Chains A and B, each alone.
Chain A
Amino acid sequence: MSDTTKSKIKYLYTNYSIILIFLIMFVLLSIFVPYFFTWRNMVGLALSVVTIGLIANTMMFALASGDFDLSVSSTVAFSGITAAVIINNTGNVGIGILVGVLAGGLVGLINGFSIAKLGLNALITTLATQMIFRGMAFIFSNGRAVGISQAGFFTLGNSMIFGIPTPIVIMVTFFVLFGILLNNTVFGKNTLAIGGNTKAAELAGINVDLTKIIIFTAQGFMAGFAGVILASRMTSGQPNAAQGLELDVISACVLGGVSLNGGIATMSGVVVGVLIMGMISNALNLLNVATFYQYVVRGSVLLIAIYLDILKQRSK
């Protein structure tokens, strides 16, 4: 084999190994797990990852810039509750959705401002806002689920476009948009540069603070939107919704090869990471494995994935 073909294969392996793992897993599960490879199950699988998938788009940017966001789980609940309360009080679905999404954006803006302008540590800041807005969700809902009376609201989560559930269409659309944003725009490249070396990025003329604020605010909007869709699918706002979601989202990104140190991220990797997370739960459900064991399996898969990643980096 010539050197160039060798290096090409190595390049493919190091950059797309996770996709290969995904394909192998998919084939194996299709063969060995009954009902796995059916249209119905595929749609169910895709629906089950909508919340994670949507937020993974913006989480990828936060991680790529070298930061964390732990607040997304509470933002989902907070936005869902806000949308539900507003819809019940105004009777207007449009305003409810808008305010719900804006509520999420507000959380993101607070995160971004605290991290970029006040110089607070991202991990601690978003841990704090996670607590604050989980609390706000309970306060706004008096600690109970808020049922929604307007049936029009449910179409967002439960309608179909060309035979495919709307939330899936929305998720796929965002995958495409954020893929373009990461690879084909100055904003995406600046995000990676900041994560790669913040000081060098600043000296190269990148407005680091503004970029970070935009990333976190977008993350807030996205979590808010995911929260509203979730409320629509559940026909209610749930103050307990999405607990622990932030770790699922981060896991999916890491599985997809996003570096926790920042500077490295691919959209294809993140999509595959999201699908792997969903696939594992889905297959375990089909096999009737109890939830308790599912945690163990998912945690183990994450450990293995990170270890593979380190091996890959060492070989470079």
Chain B
Amino acid sequence: MSYYLEFKNITKTFPGVKALDQISFGVKSGSIHGLVGENGAGKSTLLHTLSGALVPNQGEILIDNQSMNFSNTKDALDAGIAVIYQELNLVPDMTVAENLMIGNYPNKKGFVDHKELRRKAEAQIKMLMEDFDPKVKVKELSIAQKQMIEIGKALMQDAKIIAFDEPTSSLSDREIKHLFEIIEKLRNEGKAIIYVSHRMEEIFEICDTCTVFRDGKHIETFRKMEEVNHDLIVKKMVGRELNDIYGYEERVKGKEIFRIENIRGKGVKRNINLTVQEGEVVGIFGLVGAGRTELFKLLYGLENIEAGKIEVRGQEVSLNSPKESIRNKICLLPEDRKDEGIIGIRSVSENINVSSRRHHLKYNFFLDKKAEKETADKFINDLDIKTPSRNQLAVNLSGGNQQKVILSRWLSEDIDVFLMDEPTRGIDVGAKYEIYKIMYNLASEGKGILFISSDLPEVMGVSDRLVVMRSGEIIGILDREEFTEEKILSMALPVS
């Protein structure tokens, strides 16, 4: 065996979910190994075990045939492992040079040697083929440049294994090209590199070998990229034929339930006119910055509506706070489930009842605990929420089950219009399918659904109609028969 880094039977469980199940594969020095899988497949969890941030329940990590036991991130750093996450770990108010050598300043008897610091930083910046001043504060750099600093930091610590977690998700084409040059340079210097991405083109462009994950399981490792193609990998990732994962069926449409006329506000500029009928799922697609989330913020009373008109079932409504929106039968599933959706340290039951408990108060003041228990149990059962009990803390549930908890919160209310912002992001494939089914069921019951997704196949597969937004404006609304990737993308991309 000539693997420099090897995972052996790594298993990691969280309450209610097996995030990694007997993962085994190896990576050679001087090679780039791709990790692909859907969101929630376990790629990030694996990187966390590599970086020492999570300790696996079972299995071991071998480096150069030596078994390693990382109990914290420092152990992993000392073993020459650097993991470069999507959220960068830099101190924004410190300079480039300080960030590069953080924790390891050149010093003379405890006093920082500024000359040496600068010299080393300049050398490192040159190595990375960048040209910024080491005295610049990190917060003034672009994301791509920050990522370079993160790589530089890893090299300063003499990392032999470098893992990248979706490094291109917020980079431009030019920046991606530059990043790839650096990564290839690192490979040629003999580093073992793990490259996590869900962008297939990148995997084929840069990786020498690759492993596919699905639902926490190792599906297959391809040792030669020439032997595989795009469709095969996707099939392995998804686990079923692509065309049936959305399970779309035509529904009967009813009366108009929601109407927006020319509304305007922060990040939402012009031509915002749309209607939703009973039974309709209307997708909203656009690039980052197109104003989709901002539109939802207006519709949910989180930002000021400067002009325009909103009607629910033909009645004009004013929306100045989430509370008011809920009273007008509009609800939101926020994009950031963890920070804006669930209340992690409270129970599943409390998370479900947080809004609807007002409907069953005794003497208009005291909680009806029995009714709350019944509500919680009903939705845990109906939506098949995987939790040991209604008293489990919400933070311990998997992403898909947390999303179902938030859905239950609104299903237990009296809601007509569901605003769903990336409802399937970071959720494993099986749970995604369940979320779609819940959306279809809601629509069939005569609700209206507006849903944002950045996943083009998904938004095309699930929606009855599709709204395309670009720079704060609705560019067009397409019927299902008109959906083609080219058409949608050409509407969403900025005019150059």
Which residue numbers of A lie inside 8 Å of B, CB to CB? 180, 183-186, 189-190, 192-193, 196-197, 199-207, 259, 263-264
Contacts and interface: CB of A to CB of B under 8 A. Distances in A.
Given A185-B366, A193-B354, A205 B346 contact: no
A203 B358 contact: no
Nearest to B324: A205
B336 to A, nearest CB: 8
A263 B334 CA distance: 20
A203 B332 contact: yes
Q: Which of B323, B339, B344 counts the most chain A CB atoms within 10 A?
A: B323
A206 B340 contact: no
Contacts, number: 73
Interface residues of B, number: 29
Contact of B350 (A193, A199, A206): A193
Contacts of A206: 323, 354
A207 B321 contact: yes
Contact of B339 (A189, A197, A207): A197
Given A201-B343, A203-B322, 12 more contacts: A180-B366, A185-B365, A185-B366, A186-B367, A189-B357, A196-B344, A197-B339, A203-B332, A204-B322, A204-B409, A205-B322, A207-B323
A200 B342 contact: yes
A203 B367 contact: no
B106 interface: no
A201 B354 CA distance: 8
Interface in B326-357: 326, 332, 334, 339-346, 350, 353-355, 357
A210 to B, nearest CB: 10
Contacts of A192: 346, 350
B323 A196 contact: no
A19 B72 CA distance: 34
A185 B341 CA distance: 22
B361 interface: yes
Contact of A186 (B322, B325, B357): B357
Contacts of B322: 202-205
A84 to B, nearest CB: 36
A199 B321 CA distance: 13
B373 to A, nearest CB: 14
Nearest to B367: A184
B300 interface: yes
Contacts of B354: 189-190, 193, 201, 204-206
A207 B340 CA distance: 15
A185 B345 CA distance: 19
Contacts of B341: 200, 203
Interface centre among A183, A199, A200, A201 (most CB of B within 10 A): A200
B342 A197 contact: yes
Given A200-B342, A205-B326, A263-B343, A189 B361 contact: no
B415 to A, nearest CB: 11
Contacts of A207: 321, 323
21 contacts: A183-B367, A184-B367, A186-B357, A189-B354, A189-B357, A192-B346, A192-B350, A193-B346, A197-B339, A200-B334, A200-B341, A200-B342, A203-B302, A203-B341, A204-B322, A204-B343, A205-B325, A205-B326, A205-B354, A205-B355, A206-B323
Nearest to B396: A316
> Which of A193, A259, A263: most chain B Cβ within 10 A?
A193
B340 A196 contact: no
Given A186-B361, A204-B354, A204-B355, A197 B343 contact: yes
B26 to A, nearest CB: 33
Contacts of A196: 343-346
A180 B367 CA distance: 10
Nearest to B343: A196
A112 B494 CA distance: 46
Contact of A200 (B325, B340, B361): B340
**Residue picked from B322, B340, B353, B354, most chain A C-beta under 10 Å:** B354
Contacts of A199: 339-340
